[in-house]
Amino acid sequence: MKRILFWALALSIPILFFVALELGLRWGDYRNNTDLFIYPEEIPEYGLPNPNFASRYFFNTTVVPTPNADLFLKRKPEGGLRIVVMGESSAAGYPYPNNGGFARVVRDALQDVMPGTPVEIVNVAMSAINTYTLYDQIDEILEIGPDAVLIYTGHNEYYGALGVGSSENLGAFPGFVRFYLGIQRLKTFMLLRDGMSRASRWIASIGADETDGYQTLMQQVVAEQIIPLGSPLFELGRIQFESNLTAILERYREAGVPVFIGSLASNLRDHTPFEGEQALAAYRQAKAFDQAGQTDSARAAYLRAKDLDALRFRAPESFNPLIRNLAETHGAHYVPVREAFDAAARDSIIGFDLMLEHLHPNADGYHLMGMTFVQAIREQGALGRTADWSRLRPARVYRHRMALTELDERIVHHRMLILTNNWPFVKTGRPFQYGRYEFTSAADSIAFEVVNRDLSWEPAKVAMGEWYRSRRRYQEALAEFEGLMRDQPFNASPFAFGARTLLEAGYMEEARPYLNEAHRLEPSAYTYKMLGALEVNADRPDTGVPLLEQSVKLNADDAQTWYNLSGGYAKQRRFDQALEAARTAARLNPNFPGLQAWIRQLESLR
């Protein structure tokens, strides 16, 4: 008996040690919260994708990608439609700020055809990931009750986190890696993993070139730069994609969640292959066919050049039929994104007309992608919801609603400038330096701060709008605030900014919808005041006066509110109250324009 107790105690010591270690690491919040979704205390009604989520996968890089901050209601609205978007940087909308991605186009269109339904699009896509991350996200996505999932993935399959060519690699057996994904959320496992990673980086740093520390994320995630077409590593990547995508689609089918998965588009005509003499020869041949007007031969040669490109930042052509076949086999809905791009591109050869560089769409491309997903949802039956498709606006309307301004486009410019002047576009070891860069406009200057400093997009939009407003460029100011309205339809502030801009420009009635929305979201002294003033100016004092009275209850120190209230009382022929309100305004601001003359006029009426 004593021997049994001895061995039981001896065996329990390491177990108890690791349990204590795990509890200690959790108490100390090691690596912080890596859940897919977080629920900040400052906005208790909402959840959003966790900016630290990708720390689960990136432990050999100095940069960790982050998902978009798409808020969704913690308590899903009754009858609401919640759609989750999964994928890589193209699904996230890179390099555009929040409004540039295809997910927002889908939301705009579905909200139009389902006007009584709250439509939420939650985008969990991010750069430098692949189907391993998508698989790992499923449990937490299912917890928030999605009505559908939209997937656009495949370009990062080789170099995305845990891929066969990635620096964050655990081998070429998808089943084992998926098992690893299940245990790597343990804090103890993270500690051991990070220790091994630090040791390997230290060893690798011995004798390393001094420029290694300047590598971009794009370069840091790549371990195997050369993966020839048909090579063993190439085939392992294809097997990895098929295995993971099968597991993903099966999980969603078992959960009863419809999946819409898109085919993959990339730049064929205007992107020179990164690596491989055969790829470059095929590209030169394609260019020759193209210049000769032999478009069919050119397209075939461009496709061949892409597949022969040994640096696999573009998905091989074999992935698209694989996506279609797996969708059909596992009950998902195939979305012909690549086919839509082909149809829209000149000569059906995708180039800079729809792409920014090798694979990220431009604004027209993202808009086209969004409308293609919308059409697939329409053909499927609107997810079983009541939809009035006669309310769907022409495609150009949704392109305009992307609300991309010069500031947004200059942000894209700077991100592309950095991306395309570093590896693998440029083979030099040193990172891109701006040198003597001359700003082209105020928008360009602020965009530079967003991309290269700590200025976030939201305050940048406000600063740009206020810059325009201070120069009486009201329509341009309004465009900045409308971009924020589209990004944050739950936030009253941009609506109030937009209303103020229009009121300053003299567009009183045009300001009313913005004021109404700001007031619905967050009633304030300002919204009560301005809505009341609009009613009084429109000779509706009976509705305007109560609004103004509510405004002074919230802020009794605003001379303008008392002045407007005085005018409302006068229109109701309540002259004593009108005079009292005017005198209150005078005590607050004796120099308020027109106030003294108004007081004299009221005194004459007594």
Asked if 72 and 107 touch (Cβ cutoff 8 Å), the reply is: no
What band does 160 get if pLDDT is binned at 50, 70 and 90? Answer: confident
What band does 224 get if pLDDT is binned at 50, 70 and 90? Answer: low
Q: What are the pLDDT digits (tens) for 483-503?
A: 999 999 999 999 999 999 999
What band does 153 get if pLDDT is binned at 50, 70 and 90? Answer: very high
Q: Is the pLDDT of residue 504 over 60?
A: yes
Rounded Cα distance between 315 and 602, Å, is: 77
Q: Coil, strand, or helix at residue 49?
A: strand
Sign, CA torsion 196/199/205/211: positive
Q: Coil, strand, or helix at residue 206?
A: coil
What band does 604 get if pLDDT is binned at 50, 70 and 90? Answer: confident
Mean of the pLDDT values across residues 47-58?
Answer: 90
Compute how many other C-beta atoms are within 10 angstroms of the C-beta atom of residue 324.
16
Whether the link from the prior residue into 541 is cis, omega within 30° of 0, is: no
Whether the link from the prior residue into 49 is cis, omega within 30° of 0, is: no
Separation of CA 218 from chain center: 19
Q: What are the pLDDT digits (tens) for 407-462?
A: 999 999 999 999 999 989 988 767 788 888 899 999 999 999 999 998 999 999 99
Q: Is the pLDDT of residue 317 over 70?
A: yes
Domains of the chain: 37-268+312-402 (3.40.50.1110), 276-309 (no CATH), 408-604 (1.25.40.10)
* Sheet containing 37-38: order of strands: 37-38, 46-49, 72-73
Asked if 281 and 392 touch (Cβ cutoff 8 Å), the reply is: no
Rounded Cα distance between 130 and 242, Å, is: 12
Rounded Cα distance between 298 and 292, Å, is: 9
Mean of the pLDDT values across residues 585-591?
Answer: 94
Q: Which residue has the higher pLDDT, 558 or 159?
A: 558
Place of tokens 């801009």: 501
In this predicted structure, what is the pLDDT of residue 605?
Answer: 76
Which parts of 65-130 fold into alpha helices (H)? Answer: 89-92, 102-113
Name the average pLDDT for the chain. 88
Q: Is the pLDDT of residue 193 over 90?
A: no
pLDDT > 90 in the chain, percent = 75
Which parts of 119-276 fold into alpha helices (H)? Answer: 131-143, 174-183, 187-205, 217-220, 232-255
For residue 33 the two structure tokens come to: 């919260």
Asked if 405 and 476 touch (Cβ cutoff 8 Å), the reply is: yes
Compute how many other C-beta atoms are within 10 angstroms of the C-beta atom of residue 349.
21
As a whole number of Å, the CA-based R_g of the chain is: 29
Rounded Cα distance between 248 and 524, Å, is: 47
For residue 482 the two structure tokens come to: 């409308």
Rounded Cα distance between 335 and 264, Å, is: 10
Q: Coil, strand, or helix at residue 2?
A: helix
- Of 172-186, 303-317, 341-355, 553-567, the least confident: 172-186
Backbone angles phi, psi at 335, to 5 degrees: -115, 115
- Residue 170 DSSP one-character state: -
Pairing label, strands 46-49, 72-73: antiparallel
Q: What is the identity of the amino acid at 233?
A: L
Nearest to 360 by CA among 491, 453, 267, 476: 267
Helix axes 492-504, 508-521, angle to 10 degrees: 160
Which parts of 429-456 fold into alpha helices (H)? Answer: 442-452
Q: Is the pLDDT of residue 278 over 90?
A: yes
In this predicted structure, what is the pLDDT of residue 182?
Answer: 64
What band does 64 get if pLDDT is binned at 50, 70 and 90? Answer: confident
